[in-house]
Amino acid sequence: SRASLDDRFERFYLSERGWKVLDAVREVAADLDATPAQVALAWLTEWDEFTCVPIVGARTTEQLAENVAATDLELSDTQWDRIMDARYDPDGTLWGH
């Protein structure tokens, strides 16, 4: 049911680990003088193992331009690792698995 999907969404994305990933994205965004959305899009498009296409939900032309600018971002290895490392629990468990 839709309610069970909502619960699953909350447990996955609004978990402590989800917030840590968001914090890492925000830190990298601050480093690059970019928005978290731009960093998230750059991260996903640079990720060779990611097999989905992010769907951008821009409501204004400004938001669309901001999201398109993500294609100009290049994450350093350190920035990439900061986001990737945030996906793991202290025991080494990968977030979402």
Stretch (H or E) spanning 33? none
pTM assigned to the model: 0.76
Task: Answer yes or no: is 37 within a domain.
Answer: yes
Report pLDDT for 1: 46
Is 47 inside a domain boundary? yes
Convert the pLDDT of each residue in 35-78 to its tens digit.
999 999 999 888 877 777 777 788 999 999 998 999 899 999 99
Quick one: tokens of 73? 């971002």
Residue 94 lies in a domain: no
Q: Could you tell me if residue 13 is inside a domain?
A: yes
Residue with tokens 């968001």: 22
Is 7 a member of any domain? yes
- Tally of structural domains, the chain: 1
Helix then strand then coil, in percent of the chain rounded to 5, is: 65, 0, 35
Within-domain flag for 45: yes
Residue 54 lies inside a defined structural domain of this protein? yes
Q: In this structure, are residues 43 and 75 in contact, taking their beta carbons and an 8 Å threshold? A: yes
Q: How far apart are CA 18 and CA 96, in angstroms?
A: 9
Q: How many degrees, rounded to 5, is the angle at CA 43 between CA 7 and CA 9?
A: 0
Residue ranges making up the domain that contains 61: 2-85
49 in a structural domain: yes
